[in-house]
């Protein structure tokens, strides 16, 4: 069955009290709506449609950065959830598959739950995701007759008796595109809010003799974000879930509660993560690698058996090959570090490539930025870069070449050559003692004068 996802993200999020559209607030290092996008992606949709409204341009930009193929429609005025889905009509017309409506502010729905909805679609025309609410509050209520969903009653329109129902609407719905569009056309706005309710499609479907049912999920999955305290609570929930998943997938976390994850952090089997490590967006760590304490990684790939940290920083484009070592106070940006290479102490390697088994000495800097442009440094395999080498890019160092400590490299170094560039050292016998005596005498004279 081909799927079109429609993600609703037009709302302002007034209660966030923010200039930033609600769905752009970060959760797990990604904009809020990206979580619904990731869950929806598990259905392998043919089309993904995002409905924007408030902050449309910013939301569209963020969405295209995540998925260049995403289709975006704008809902200029927020007249209700049914009206929002209808904005996608031109894209859904003639689509021979199912439409799944997700909310951009509801990040925790699991792929398995969407799968269960897809299965229920085999026997029902309209499928709604519901949950038993501990406190049903203002949620829409699901009126069931056995396994059949009769209608959804919005809180504002519900009678006191209907408000006693605790089985609630998550908002997520699934139907064929043809059914969805036909039903949406009939939705009116004659209700307490004066809005076009997506929830009305259930009663309309039933009136036409179509079948509707609800799939149940855990309330935690349907948690929506409306306020900053809710966002903070959601971050804690996201982190707890990510830690548990990592542990279950075979990663060792020595102090799980101190490790910070992002949406899409991927840690392989038998990876060991020491305390106080932060994974920003886009990190993959391969099997058996060790991330030592107090390291910060984003946009980085760490190969099998590599060791990173303690106190290392991997920035976007850091490609650490198998068995390489990145040590304390080392920063790597947009650079490949070859297999078994070592950058162990106090170095900056940026816009560079370092060949296999090369050793980068303490305090080495790739001087990649001239104040206007960035330049590359290419270092071959089995090379030895002496401590405190400054590599003034663009520059190349050949295989098995060597630089002497303190060298400022301003020209290419051929394979197997040694580069040494530093002032010659002089030794003056007895001069230190003379200098000390002179300085002490000057200090004594100054104190006497006070």
How far apart are alpha carbons 32 and 102 in whole angstroms? 13
Q: Say if residues 352 and 376 touch (Cβ distance below 8 Å).
A: yes
Burial annotation 69-107 (CB, 10 A radius, 16+ → b, else e): ebbbbebeebbbbbbbbbbbeebbeebebbbbbbbbbbb
Q: Say if residues 124 and 141 touch (Cβ distance below 8 Å).
A: no
- Of 17 and 447, nearer to ligand UD1 (C-beta) is 17
Which residue's C-beta sits nearest to ligand UD1?
140
Reply yes or no: is the peptide bond before residue 319 cis, omega within 30 of 0: no
Q: Compute the least distance from the CB of residue 122 to ligand UD1, in Å.
A: 25
Active site amino acids? 345
- Of 142 and 273, nearer to ligand UD1 (C-beta) is 142
Handedness of CA 364, 370, 371, 374 (dihedral sign): negative
- Of 143 and 367, nearer to ligand UD1 (C-beta) is 143
- Of 83 and 325, nearer to ligand UD1 (C-beta) is 83
- Of 140 and 338, nearer to ligand UD1 (C-beta) is 140
Q: Which residues contact 308 (CB under 8 A, 6 or more apart)?
A: 289, 290, 291, 292, 295, 297, 302, 314, 320, 326
Q: Compute the least distance from the CB of residue 6 to ligand UD1, in Å.
A: 10
Q: Compute the least distance from the CB of residue 143 to ligand UD1, in Å.
A: 12
Three-class secondary structure of residue 84 per DSSP: helix
- Of 80 and 361, nearer to ligand UD1 (C-beta) is 80
Report which secondary-structure segment, H or E, holds 172: strand 167-176
Q: Compute the least distance from the CB of residue 208 to ligand UD1, in Å.
A: 20
How far apart are alpha carbons 448 and 60 in whole angstroms? 74
Q: Compute the least distance from the CB of residue 62 to ligand UD1, in Å.
A: 15
Rounded to the nearest 5 degrees, what angle is found at the Cα of 91, between the Cα atoms of 90 and 92?
A: 95
Tokens of 64: 């295209």
Q: Compute the least distance from the CB of residue 94 to ligand UD1, in Å.
A: 23
Q: Say if residues 172 and 129 touch (Cβ distance below 8 Å).
A: yes
How far apart are alpha carbons 94 and 230 in whole angstroms? 39
Q: State the DSSP code for 139.
A: P
- Of 141 and 243, nearer to ligand UD1 (C-beta) is 141
Q: State the DSSP code for 265.
A: -
How far apart are alpha carbons 48 and 104 in whole angstroms? 12
Q: How far is CA 289 from the centre of its chain?
A: 21
Q: Compute the least distance from the CB of residue 154 to ligand UD1, in Å.
A: 5
R_g (Cα) of the chain, nearest Å: 30
How far apart are alpha carbons 124 and 25 in whole angstroms? 36
How far apart are alpha carbons 406 and 411 in whole angstroms? 15
Q: Compute the least distance from the CB of residue 202 to ligand UD1, in Å.
A: 10
Q: State the DSSP code for 425.
A: P
Q: Compute the least distance from the CB of residue 136 to ligand UD1, in Å.
A: 9
Q: Specify the length of the chain in residues.
A: 450
Q: Which residues of this chain interact with ligand UD1, rule CB under 6 A?
A: 8-11, 51, 53, 75, 78-81, 83-84, 103-105, 139-140, 152, 154, 168-171, 197-199, 224
Q: Say if residues 286 and 274 touch (Cβ distance below 8 Å).
A: no
């Amino acid at each position: 069955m081909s799927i079109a996802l429609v993600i609703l993200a037009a709302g302002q999020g007034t209660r966030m009290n923010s200039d930033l559209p609600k769905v752009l607030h970060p959760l797990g290092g990604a904009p809020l709506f990206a979580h619904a996008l990731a869950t929806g992606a598990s259905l392998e949709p043919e089309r993904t449609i995002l409905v924007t409204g408030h902050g449309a341009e910013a939301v569209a930009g963020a969405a295209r950065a995540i998925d260049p193929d995403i289709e975006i429609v704008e809902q200029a005025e927020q007249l209700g959830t049914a009206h929002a889905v209808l904005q996608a009509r031109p894209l859904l017309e003639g689509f021979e598959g199912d439409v799944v409506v997700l909310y951009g502010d509801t990040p925790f729905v699991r792929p398995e739950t969407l799968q269960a909805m897809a299965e229920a679609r085999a026997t029902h025309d309209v499928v709604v995701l519901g949950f038993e609410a501990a406190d049903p509050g203002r949620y829409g209520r699901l009126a069931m007759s056995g396994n059949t969903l009769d209608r959804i009653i919005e809180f504002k329109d519900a009678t006191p008796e209907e408000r006693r129902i605790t089985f609630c609407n998550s908002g997520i719905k699934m139907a064929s595109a043809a059914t969805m569009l036909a039903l949406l056309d009939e939705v009116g706005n004659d209700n307490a809010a004066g809005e076009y309710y997506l929830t009305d499609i259930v009663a309309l479907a039933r009136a036409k003799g179509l079948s509707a049912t609800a799939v149940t999920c855990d309330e935690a999955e349907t948690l929506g974000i409306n306020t900053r305290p809710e966002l903070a609570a959601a971050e804690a929930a996201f982190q707890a879930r990510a830690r548990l998943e990592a542990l279950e997938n075979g990663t060792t976390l020595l102090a799980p509660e101190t490790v910070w994850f992002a949406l899409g952090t991927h840690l392989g089997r038998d990876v060991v993560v020491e305390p106080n490590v932060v994974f920003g967006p886009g990190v993959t760590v391969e099997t058996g690698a060790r991330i030592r304490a107090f390291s910060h990684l984003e946009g980085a790939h760490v190969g099998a058996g590599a060791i990173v940290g303690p106190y290392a920083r991997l920035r976007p484009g850091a490609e650490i090959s198998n068995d390489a070592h990145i040590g304390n106070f080392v920063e790597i940006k947009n650079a490949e570090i070859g297999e078994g290479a070592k950058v162990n102490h106090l170095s900056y390697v940026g816009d560079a490539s370092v060949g296999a088994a090369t050793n980068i000495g303490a305090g080495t800097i790739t001087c990649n930025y001239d104040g206007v442009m960035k330049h590359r440094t290419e270092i071959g395999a089995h090379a030895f870069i002496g401590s405190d080498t400054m590599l003034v890019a663009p520059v190349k160092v050949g295989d098995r070449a060597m630089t002497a400590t303190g060298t400022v490299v301003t020209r290419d170094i051929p394979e197997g050559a040694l580069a040494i560039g530093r002032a010659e050292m002089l030794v003056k016998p007895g001069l230190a003692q003379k200098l000390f005596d002179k300085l002490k005498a000057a200090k004594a004279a100054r104190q006497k004068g006070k």
